[in-house]
Chains A and B, each alone.
Chain A
Amino acid sequence: MILRRVISTAKRTQGYLRQTVQVTGLNLPLFETCIDNMQHHRQVLSRQVPEGDMEAFSPNTSLSYPSIEFGTRYFTSRRDDPLSAAMPFDHAIDPKGILTSMIANRYFHGEDNKVLYYRLVPSSGNGQQLRYVFIFIHNGRTIVIMMLTGSNRWILYVSGSAIS
Chain B
Amino acid sequence: MDPVCFRIGDIIEVQATISAIPVKGNKFKTIAQLRSLALIDGSFTEVSANQNKLNCSSSSAM
CB–CB A49/B9 < 8 A: no
A87 located at the interface, meaning its Cβ lies under 8 Å from any Cβ of chain B in the complex: no
Chain A CB count within 10 A is highest, among B13, B27, B33, for B33
> Shortest CB–CB separation between residue A153 and chain B, in angstroms?
11
Instruction: Given the known inter-chain contacts A53-B28, A55-B30, please indicate yes or no for A118 contacting B37, CB distance below 8 A.
Output: yes
Which residues of chain A are near B4, meaning CB under 8 Å? 92
Instruction: Kindly supply a per-residue 1/0 record for chain B positions 14-43, scoring 1 wherever the CB is within 8 Å of any chain A CB and 0 otherwise.
Output: 111111111100111111111111111100
Which residues of chain B are near A143, meaning CB under 8 Å? 19-20, 28
B32, closest chain A residue (CB): A70
Instruction: Given the known inter-chain contacts A115-B34, A118-B38, please indicate yes or no for A5 contacting B15, CB distance below 8 A.
Output: no
> Shortest CB–CB separation between residue A3 and chain B, in angstroms?
6
* Chain B contact patch, size range: 35 or more
* Chain A contact patch, size range: 35 or more
A54 located at the interface, meaning its Cβ lies under 8 Å from any Cβ of chain B in the complex: yes
Which residues of chain B are near A93, meaning CB under 8 Å? 3
Contact of B16 among A1, A3, A70, A142 (CB under 8 A): A70
B11 located at the interface, meaning its Cβ lies under 8 Å from any Cβ of chain A in the complex: yes
Instruction: Kindly supply a per-residue 1/0 record for chain A positions 1-20, scoring 1 wherever the CB is within 8 Å of any chain B CB and 0 otherwise.
Output: 11111010000000000011
Instruction: Given the known inter-chain contacts A55-B28, A117-B3, A141-B22, please indicate yes or no for A149 contacting B33, CB distance below 8 A.
Output: no
Contact of A55 among B12, B27, B33, B36 (CB under 8 A): B27
CB–CB A72/B34 < 8 A: yes
Which residues of chain A are near B7, meaning CB under 8 Å? 2, 5
A sample of 9 cross-chain residue pairs with beta-carbon separation below 8 angstroms, ordered by A number, consists of: A2-B6, A5-B8, A45-B28, A55-B30, A130-B13, A134-B36, A142-B21, A145-B18, A148-B17
7 closest A-B pairs by CB = A70-B34, A118-B38, A116-B36, A117-B1, A142-B19, A45-B20, A42-B30
